Structure 1
Amino acid sequence: MFTIRRFAKLAVVFNNNARQQNLRTKYSSTATTTTITEHTQPNKPYPLDGIRVLDLTRIVAGPYCTMILSDLGADVIKIERPGSGDESRKWGPPFVKNSKDSVYFLANNRNKRSCCIDLKHGADILYDLARKCDVLVENYIPGKLDEYNLGYAHISQVNPAIVYCSITGYGAVGPYAKRPGYDVIAASMGGLLHITGAENGPPSKVGVAVTDLATGLYAHGAIMAALLQRMKTGKGQKIDVNLLSTQVASLINVASNYLNAQKEAKRWGTAHESIVPYEAFKTKNGYLTVGTGSDLQFQALCDYLNIPHIPTDPKFINNAQRVKHRAELISILSDIFIDETSQHWMSLFENAPFPVGPINSIAEVFDDPHIKEIGLVKSLSHPTGGEIKVVGPPVTYSDSSNTARTAPPLLGQHTDEILRDILEYDDAKINDLRTRNIIQ
């Protein structure tokens, strides 16, 4: 009896292995790709080499924008308040070893130089710097910098060619213009929290400040476009970017559903409103997210799961029907996925033609062999903290550099260097400014 059972078990394993091999052969691609990384061509030029950015931003959206510019080679001069600096320096714990700076600050401020100037009493220094800069980025409440004579009207008189980018919570006009803005507030008012979270649960904040990040990306793109236009006209201009408008624009299909079909959105957890299956499934030891964006991909999924009859069922024959009969189909798939580990399924789906991946912890993300192979994490030497690690730029160029080069600066680390080398202030003037607490 034992022998018969053991033989039957071996036969099942053999048949499953053979089926998996047939599926891998059926769905695997023979195409080859060439991956371009920053290491393929050493000493490549930086696209923004020679561009100087006057950075009057704090927190996330603005610093993220200017960090992208710095990765591309721009000389970013981070203007900070003497004594305290960027508020995110205090957003800890955790903090950098042997430093008062938070590790949060490390995430958005590499490749920059810190120069401490009191904006209220140091407008003349800012004018001198603006004359030497191509771009100014700021994220104060509209009108605040005008009080210090540092708004666009004043700076453009000093340098008509400067690209002046204002990042605000709600823009320069409208009833909310004077309100302070944070990511989670814009995400709340812009609908993101309403559509995020478990289907029958409360609204939920996204795990990172995606509204800030999207705003920083929009600002970066707008600055690049304005620099291109300046090449044609020789003139600078003012750019207004704000969190709320960015968030509403980022609603994409959810906004389109409402504007064109008057369909109000709801929370779906990990599921997709318009595509089924497209969500996370519980496995024996974790969760696996599977997406099938076409009928062919759904058929392939069912082949891999050894349920080839499912795609022929009229209830599941196309995506519209699968959406209609979502609960029944998800129940069928859930009962299958729960029986094996995430590792088992990922091994089975290795060459599958549909997107699939485990829900990784952060530790698992950085232990992932692909993340390691592409060298996304960079080590930098911090002035006081020793070696620190940052996530480098996700974009690579065939003929240009885009890299993390220097650690985020200490508060006021480069004040004297900038005033001396760029503005040619002598030691007597620098010492006088420091004595009057205008600089640090």
Structure 2
Amino acid sequence: MIRSKITVSVVSSAMLRGQNYSFQRVNQQVRSSHTASSAHVQLPLTGIKVIDLTRVLAGPYATQILADLGAEVIKVEHVTRGDDTRSWGPPFAKDNGKPGAHGESAYFLSVNRNKKSLALNFQDKRGQEVLKALIASSDIVIENYLPGSLAKYGLSYEQLKNDKIIYASITGYGQNGPFRDRAGYDVMVEAEMGLMHITGEADGSPVKVGVAVTDLTTGLYAANSIMAAIIGRSKTGMGQYIDISLADCQVATLSNIASSCLISGKPDTGRHGTSHPSICPYQAFPTKDGSIMIGGANDRLFGILCRLLGKEEWIIDERFSTNALRVKHRDELVPMIMAQTNLATTEEWLDIFEGSGIAYAAVNDIQATLNHPQVLARNMVTTIDHPTCGPLKMINTPIKYSRAKPSIRTAPPTLGQHTDEILEGLGLRTKEIDTMRVEGVVG
């Protein structure tokens, strides 16, 4: 990590008097206030400080990844309502009944672990100065406002004049182009950038993916590009600006489907439900009590499947002897397989297919997934103590290193939970913080 000796701003007492003020200059070496325990000192991003000006999903998901890997993430929230998702529910985790406690939305809890919350009104000049002081001692800024919005507060990349900062902007459509000023929402981008058209049953209407997958992939791209920029800065000493859009990320993740259209020059093949356009059988099949995914990806595996289904005669059937023929005769083969899978329960088929070498899986709902033996063995569900809600079950970080041990070190913060701690770190006294709170600058 590149970190030079620079001047850090500390809020002056003139803020209390409502006068024009400037930040006093105090020469000191900038370093993160991150106080990781010895158990986490080897996390890859320990010592990296992130100012998180994002809300809802794509941005918070990206910063949560950075936080899981050891970065100190300061989430800057609206002074009274916080991140929009704090009110998105039900469900809400119930409070523990202690004075001042309140519930938290499951949505907010899902993408804000390992962060600190600063409730700050940066429409106020004093709030802007606080934020600029934080940025001066930070490595990364990530925001998801409409293009040009933060320039009104002197907080754009160009206005900060900090060559070492890595500044990432997440928008719906990017910083240029005819749609740059259009707000970006996951489901709209799914529709506009092709994903919805290829999702759903062949004879049904277009549908969105069950989770906000465009937001999530954008968050992954953002985290990945930020970490690459950190490596780049270690070589050059220079940060850079990163322009990330939901639309670009969605087009990129069309992957082989987009490549097929580019190469062929033809329209896509539409919706295929759970089936694969180029392989048969490779889809969900009904059972007595649910569904099971089955894949016969080559001729040998198709032969094994036929034997397990009790239909060895299909192996020598001229309609099904190669994958290309099975795809051609899909409308005949699939109903025949369905007739067989309907004869037993999902669990019975799982036992039959176990160890056979074919691809298969139960189609589980979310509760079954969260209680899946593999999920539990991989510690993907953990319990964390929340300051106002008590013990909470949460999804754990999926990252496993041989040495570093990413984990949920702290619960998702309550609104403004770390305001005093962060401001005191900038040199503000308790009286100054109290006055700013009364005047609605902080919360």
**Alignment match, 2:409:** 405
Q: 2:85 aligns with which of 84, 88, 95?
A: 88
Shift in Å at residue 367 of structure 1? 2.1
Alpha-carbon distance in 2 for matches of 1:400, 1:291: 36
* Most deviating of 78-87 and 288-297: 288-297
**Alignment match, 1:47:** 44
**Alignment match, 1:148:** 153
- 8 A contact 2:103–2:389 mirrored in 1: no
Q: 2:330 aligns with which of 326, 330, 334?
A: 326
Q: What are the within-5 Å matches in structure 2 for residues 137-176 of structure 1?
A: 137-155=142-160, 157=161, 159-176=162-179
Q: 1:336 aligns with which of 330, 340, 358?
A: 340
Give the SS at the match of 1:309.
helix
Amino acid of the structure 2 residue aligned with 1:362:
I
Q: Are 2:350 and 1:353 aligned?
A: no
**Alignment match, 1:192:** 195
Alpha-carbon distance in 2 for matches of 1:140, 1:53: 17
Shift in Å at residue 100 of structure 1? 4.4
Shift in Å at residue 274 of structure 1? 1.3
Q: 2:66 aligns with which of 59, 66, 69?
A: 69
Shift in Å at residue 320 of structure 1? 1.4
- 8 A contact 2:174–2:180 mirrored in 1: yes
Q: Are 2:125 and 1:128 aligned?
A: no
- 8 A contact 2:104–2:389 mirrored in 1: no
Q: 2:377 aligns with which of 350, 373, 377?
A: 373
Alpha-carbon distance in 2 for matches of 1:166, 1:69: 15
Give the SS at the match of 1:263.
coil
Q: Deviations over 1:256-303 (max 9, x none)?
A: 121111132311111111111111000011100112322232222223
**Alignment match, 1:290:** 294
- 8 A contact 2:40–2:70 mirrored in 1: no
**Alignment match, 1:30:** none
Shift in Å at residue 44 of structure 1? 6.9
Equivalences, count:
397
Seq. identity, %: 45
Q: Are 2:421 and 1:393 aligned?
A: no
- 8 A contact 1:44–1:399 mirrored in 2: no
* Most deviating of 68-77 and 99-108: 99-108
Amino acid of the structure 1 residue aligned with 2:142:
V
Alpha-carbon distance in 1 for matches of 2:403, 2:318: 52
Q: What are the within-5 Å matches in structure 2 for residues 238-253 of structure 1?
A: 238-253=241-256
Amino acid of the structure 2 residue aligned with 1:365:
T
**Alignment match, 2:260:** 257
- 8 A contact 2:40–2:406 mirrored in 1: no
Alpha-carbon distance in 2 for matches of 1:319, 1:297: 11
* Most deviating of 91-100 and 169-178: 91-100
- 8 A contact 1:56–1:78 mirrored in 2: yes
Alpha-carbon distance in 1 for matches of 2:334, 2:399: 36
Distance 1:141 1:92, change over 3 A: same
Give the SS at the match of 1:279.
strand
Amino acid of the structure 2 residue aligned with 1:50:
G
**Alignment match, 1:230:** 233
Higher helix share: 1
Amino acid of the structure 2 residue aligned with 1:180:
A
* Most deviating of 251-260 and 282-291: 251-260
Tell me the TM-score normalised to structure 1 length. 0.87
Alpha-carbon distance in 1 for matches of 2:398, 2:337: 34
Amino acid of the structure 2 residue aligned with 1:361:
D
Alpha-carbon distance in 2 for matches of 1:353, 1:131: 56
Q: Deviations over 1:5-28 (max 9, x none)?
A: xxxxxxxxxxxxxxxxxxxxxxxx
Give the SS at the match of 2:92.
coil
Amino acid of the structure 2 residue aligned with 1:140:
Y
Q: Are 2:83 and 1:78 aligned?
A: no
Alpha-carbon distance in 2 for matches of 1:117, 1:222: 27
Shift in Å at residue 123 of structure 1? 1.4
Shift in Å at residue 426 of structure 1? 2.2
Alpha-carbon distance in 1 for matches of 2:299, 2:132: 61
Give the SS at the match of 1:78.
strand
Alpha-carbon distance in 2 for matches of 1:43, 1:433: 34
Give the SS at the match of 1:145.
helix
Alpha-carbon distance in 2 for matches of 1:167, 1:131: 21
Amino acid of the structure 2 residue aligned with 1:355:
A
Alpha-carbon distance in 1 for matches of 2:41, 2:129: 37
Distance 1:242 1:187, change over 3 A: same
Q: 1:428 aligns with which of 412, 419, 431?
A: 431
Alpha-carbon distance in 2 for matches of 1:356, 1:211: 27
RMSD: 1.5
Q: Are 2:217 and 1:217 aligned?
A: no
Amino acid of the structure 2 residue aligned with 1:359:
V
Give the SS at the match of 1:127.
helix
